[in-house]
Amino acid sequence: MNIRFALLLTLIFAIASTAPSFAAGDRFALVIGNAKYPDADAPLKEPINDARDVADELKRDGFNVDVGENLTGEQMRRAFDRLYTKIKPGSVVLLFFSGYGIQSSRQSYMIPIDAQIWSEADVRRDGFSLETVLGEINSRGAGVKIALIDASRRNPFERRFRSFSAGLAPVIAPNGTLVMYSAALSSVISDNGSDHSLFVRELLKEIRTPDLMAEETLNRTRVGVTRASRSEQVPWISSSLAEDFSFIPGSAARPQSPPPPEPPPPPPAQTAVAPPAPPAPPSPPAPPAQTATAPPPSEPQLPLPSPPMPRPADIAVSPTPTPKPADALADDPTIKTLTARLNDNPDDAAALYRRGQVYASKGAYELAIKDFNNSLRLNPKDVEAYNNRCWARTVVGDLQAALKDCNEALRLRPNFVDALDSRGLLNLKSGQAKNAIADFDAALKLNPRLTSSLYGRGLAKKRNGSIAEGDLDITNAKAMDPNIVKEFADYGVQ
C-alpha cells in the first residue's frame, strides 16, 4: 500500500509540474474607466468605451475581470480591496485605468470622479497612488503585475497649483512588474475627439496576437502609437519582468481572432519574410521613439560599418527636404508648451529632447538637430538623443556625422533596434547596400514587424542584385503600411 501511495504521489507531482505557470483562474484584472468629472468642462469621450473593450478582451484571454465605470473614491477603494482579496501566490494581476492622472511628489495618482483637488495635498488625500497599489498587489504574492495607465491627459486640477508637473511620473515598482503609460513621462495628450483612444486601439491589436510575450506586445503598441500619431504621442514603458508571460499562449488561439492573411508565396529560391500581424492602418512617418524598457536580450553585436562610400550613380535619392522655419511651427501647442518650459529653464534636457522629436516629426530637421545637440550637451550618454540625431542627420544628408551618432547609440546600447533601423537607412542612403541589409536584418530579428526595416531591406536587396527577394520585402512592407513608400520618399530615398 505504501509503495502504491508513493507512486501515486509521484504521478500527481509529475502532472502538476508540467501544468502552465499561469492558469486561467490565476489571472485577475481590474479595469476602470472614469469619464464624468464634475470639475471638467465636459465628460471624457474615451474612457468608458476603452474600459469595456479592454475588459472584453481580457475576459477572452482568461482573466477574471472586475469592471468599474465612473467610480467615486470610495468605489475605487472597494474595487482595489476586491482585487487584493482574489490574489493568490503566483497570480497574474493586471490593472487598466483610463481617466485623469496627476503626478505629485514624484508619484502618479489615479483620480476618482468625486475628487476635491485644490492643492497637491488634496491629490495625495483623494487620489490612488499607482506605486502603492502595485506594492499591495505584490505583497499579496502576485507573480506578474501589469499596469496599463491611459491617464496622460490635460486635466482641470493641475492648473490650480502654483507650480505643477504635467502628465505622469516614473513609477518605482516591485520586481516582476510591467507598466505602460499612454504617453511619455511628464507629457499630456489632447482628446482626439473620437470614442476610442489611439493607445487602446493599438494595444488591443497587439494583445490579440497569439504567443507574443507581454513585453513585446507593449513594445509593438508603443511603435504603433508613435507612428500613428506622428510622434506626438510616445508611450512610456518600464519593465522588471523576470519570467515570460503571454496574453494569448499559442495553444490558446481563439476562433474569434482569425490569423493574419499570409503574404504572397515567394519563388522557390527565396525566403519569405511574412509579417506576423494583419496590415496596419496608414500611418505617417515618425522618428524613432523614446522608451524606458530594458534593451532586448543580448546578441552578438554587428561590427560597426566603415564610413559611407560615395553612392553609386544608379541609386535614387531625392533632394534634401526643404527645412521648415521655426515661425511656421510657433503656434503648434506642443512646441509652445515645451518652448515655454525652456524659456523658464534652458537646461531642461527632457524638454529639449521632446521638442527635438516634435520638430523632426514635422519635418523641421535642422531645428530638431539643434535641440538634440543641446540635449546631448546636458546628457552626453543619452542613447535616445544620439539615435534621433542620427536619424535627422541622415534625412538632411549629413551622413558622416549621422554614422558617428548611430554607432555611439549602439555602443551605449548594443542591439538597440531603433538605432539599427536608423543606421540601415543611413547605409541605404549612402549606397552601402550590404551594410544596410545587415542592419535591417538585425532590426527585424528583434522586431519582425518593423515596417521601415522591411521596406528598407527590400530596397537594399534590389540594389544589391537580389531583385525578387527585394520585391517580396517591399510587397510585404506595403501590405503592412501603405504609407511606407511616401515615408522613405520624405527621407530622400526612393
Total count of domains within the chain: 2
Residues 243-254 have a mean pLDDT of 68
* R_g (Cα) of the chain, nearest Å: 24
Q: 213 with 358, same domain? A: no
Taking the mean position of all CA atoms in its chain, how far away is CA 491?
23
Which pLDDT value is given to residue 104? 84
Measure the CA–CA gap between 242 and 239, rounded to whole angstroms: 9
Q: Is the same domain home to 224 and 331?
A: no
Residue 317 included in any domain: no
Q: Which three cell numbers stand for residue 25?
A: 483562474
Residue 129, classed as helix, strand or coil, is strand
Output 157 or 113, whichever has higher pLDDT. 113
Least-confidence region, from 141-145, 269-273, 318-322, 427-431:
269-273
DSSP string, 64-124: EEEEEES--HHHHHHHHHHHHHH--TT-EEEEEEES-EEEETTEEEE--TT---SSHHHHH
CATH number for position 352: 1.25.40.10
Q: How confident is the model at residue 16 (pLDDT cuts 50, 70, 90)?
A: very low
Give the C-alpha separation, 61 to 366, whole Å: 47
83 lies in the same domain as 209: yes
pLDDT in the model for residue 17? 37
Give 480's pLDDT tier (boundaries 50, 70, 90): low
Say whether both 242 and 390 belong to one domain: no
The four Cα atoms 311, 317, 319, 324 give a dihedral, to 10 degrees, of: -110
pLDDT (tens digit per residue) in 67-120: 999 999 999 999 999 999 999 999 999 999 999 999 888 889 999 999 988 887
Please tell me the distance from the alpha carbon of residue 390 to that of residue 399, in angstroms, as a whole number.
8
* Residue 266 belongs to a domain: no
Q: What is the pLDDT of residue 493?
A: 85
In terms of residue numbers, what domain contains 407?
326-491
224/190: higher pLDDT: 224
Identify the residue with better confidence: 20 or 51. Answer: 51
- The reply to whether 264 falls in a domain is no
Q: In this structure, is residue 333 part of a structural domain?
A: yes
Task: Confirm whether 274 is domain-assigned.
Answer: no
Number of Cβ within 10 Å of residue 115's Cβ equals 24
Domain containing residue 25: CATH number: 3.40.50.1460
Is the Cβ–Cβ distance between 128 and 182 less than 8 Å? Answer: no
Query: What does the pLDDT look like over 481-492, one tens digit per residue?
Result: 677 888 888 888
Q: What is the pLDDT of residue 325?
A: 54
For the chain, the average pLDDT equals: 79
Same domain for 131 and 229, yes or no, is yes
Could you tell me whether strands 128-129 and 144-150 are parallel, antiparallel, or unpaired per DSSP bridges? unpaired
335 and 242 within one domain: no
In percent, how much of the chain has pLDDT > 70?
Answer: 75
Q: What is the distance between the alpha carbons of residues 241 and 175, in angstroms, rounded to a whole number?
A: 7
Band of pLDDT at residue 224, cut at 50, 70 and 90: very high
The verdict on 61 and 195 lying in the same domain is yes
Q: Which of 252, 283, 313 is the last residue of a domain?
A: 252
The candidate with the shortest Cα–Cα distance to 173, out of 218, 224, 135, is 135
- Output the nine-digit C-alpha cell for 8: 501515486
Is 15 contained in some domain?
no
Q: Are residues 241 and 378 in the same domain?
A: no
CA nearest to 453, candidates 432, 424, 430, 428: 424
| Domain match, 242 and 336 both | no
Q: Which of 252, 280, 300 is the last residue of a domain?
A: 252
Residues 341 and 237 in one domain: no
Residue 286 lies in a domain: no
Could you tell me the CA-to-CA distances from 153 to 100, 188, 293, 392 in Å, in that order? 6, 5, 22, 29
Which is nearest to 473 in space by CA: 172, 491, 443? 443
Please identify, among 204, 226, 252, the residue that sits at the C-terminal boundary of a domain.
Answer: 252
Question: For residue 278, is pLDDT > 80?
Answer: no
On whether both 336 and 485 belong to a single domain, the answer is: yes
**The pLDDT of residue 7 is above 50:** no
Same domain, 80 and 173: yes
Is the pLDDT assigned to residue 323 strictly greater than 70? no
Q: Is residue 469 part of a domain?
A: yes
What is the SS3 assignment for 147? strand
Q: Is the dihedral of CA 188, 296, 441, 266 positive or negative?
A: negative
Give the strand order in the sheet containing 144-150: 64-69, 27-33, 92-98, 144-150, 177-181, 236-239
